[in-house]
Amino acid sequence: MDANQRREIILKHYQNPVHRGLVSDETYRKADTSNESCIDEVHLMAKLENGRIVDLRFDGEACAMCTSSTSLMIQTLIGKTLEEAEVILQQFEAMIEGEEYDANVLEDTIVYDDIAKQPNRKKCVLLPWWGLEKILNEEKEGKQNER
């Protein structure tokens, strides 16, 4: 993907993020993440049913990189199983950290493939993913406690 395509996708998801706005529904799991070194604050909500992500929503105040990362994460993960989401999350984090990763599972989130070279931007793009990771871990813990 060339630099212009990358910029275009990031700008589109910053200016018109998908699923922005929280809902009043107790069936959603919630996670809040923030970056103490800047304004980034993401409130994430996930509706999980039958081992699948059926909806993700967010709100908060964040920079262009954080907002676009949140929007792209949501676009990528709605409809995925929890196992698929975990794989994508692991691969995304590996990409951001400059480690080996499977680009085939990342869909449009691959636009951040050069962030590893920009350490000051890593937390911006990872922040919403950490919120999702909290939600997925809570879901796993809940399932284990049911046994």
Planar angle of CA 72, 64, 90, nearest 5 degrees: 40
The three-class DSSP label of residue 37 is coil
pTM of model > 0.75: yes
Q: Which residue has the tokens 């909500």?
A: 45
String of b and e for 80-105 (b: at least 16 CB within 10 Å)? bebebbbebbebbbebbeeeebeeeb
Tens of pLDDT, residue by residue over 64-99, are 999 999 999 999 999 999 999 999 999 999 999 999
